[in-house]
Amino acid sequence: MATAIYAASLDPITRGHLWMIQQGARLFDRVIVGIGHNPGKTPTFPLEQRLELTRTSIAEAGLDGRIEVDSFERVFLVDFARTRGADILLRGIRNESDFTYEMTMRHVNGDLAPDMLTVALMPPRELREISSSFVRGLVGHAGWEKVVGRYVTPGVLAAMQERYADRLNL
């Protein structure tokens, strides 16, 4: 039984992330979405809310029950994967800089866990440029909700409207 870990900060989860999760479900028996804490970033949404938004988005997208959502902090991804019984790291590559970063991480992960396989997928053109930071950067412009709504699920959009309500006087 092949189990894959798809790890990201998911701050917030986007339709690009959901595409990766959906493809993982097509390829593997079980997919664990691991929401990691990146010490180099200050999250917009607290961990508990990111977990809930991820679970809700997966349900809104109609993805099946072979997907679990969990979190990890201050451990290497390969160690988290081992604790969850995963033998595959699922990664996304949107562009050249992602490729360079993911290649480096694959080598580091290979040093730490030579038996761990890394599988990288490239999203379709319409999802290629979507990232959490890109989506957050759209907030505040006139009509931002309509634009952001193309890239996130309704539940995430509602959470963003609430999160930014004071700043935007909504």
Catalytic residue IDs: 17, 41, 94, 132
Per residue, what are the HEC states of 3-14? EEEEEECCCCCC
Cα separation, 103 vs 141, whole angstroms? 35
Work out whether strand 117-121 and strand 30-36 pair parallel, antiparallel, or are unpaired: unpaired
Nearest CA among 47, 62, 39 for reference residue 10: 47
Work out whether strand 3-8 and strand 30-36 pair parallel, antiparallel, or are unpaired: parallel
